[in-house]
A and B are shown apart, each in its own frame.
Chain A
């Protein structure tokens, strides 16, 4: 069984640029959630996709957007990058959206904005 994978591993961008991060969910999982983890903090929920539809969103501005594809893989897009967007971006997949469905995380993408 293949776990959650993310690409790229590391990324360096400059302010104002746009970035796309990718996530492949674990086999059999139809739900993908994205989290942002700033240095020294716990992850913060960005949004979740369930069967290609956004299924909840955290307190992030609209320049954070996403997609989920028919194979349940997902993208996180960030426009007009700011220095504070520098963080580890984690993707998690789960079988469904109920409270008991464990979210399994990928290795993350470390984004640095200069």
Chain B
């Protein structure tokens, strides 16, 4: 079952912040975040394991609330290069499946 991402799309001006959410109805062991540019393959950004840790990657960070089975991706001071579609992927406890959400299209405009 695919995790649910929100919003489906967001438009930002350079320098603005955004939050992308990912939730699952299943118990999660880990949450992955990926970014895909148009016409390219998805690229791994970061992984969060259960335990509520927060990770950072440049000005992009994420958190994982295992009690709520939710993860959020935070993009601060957005840059044009942040444009793309962001996917969360989830591993359930005891599962080898890596299942992705439908994606959130982020557009950063000057």
Q: Do A and B come from one complex?
A: no
Binding site for A on B (CB under 8 A): none
Binding site for B on A (CB under 8 A): none
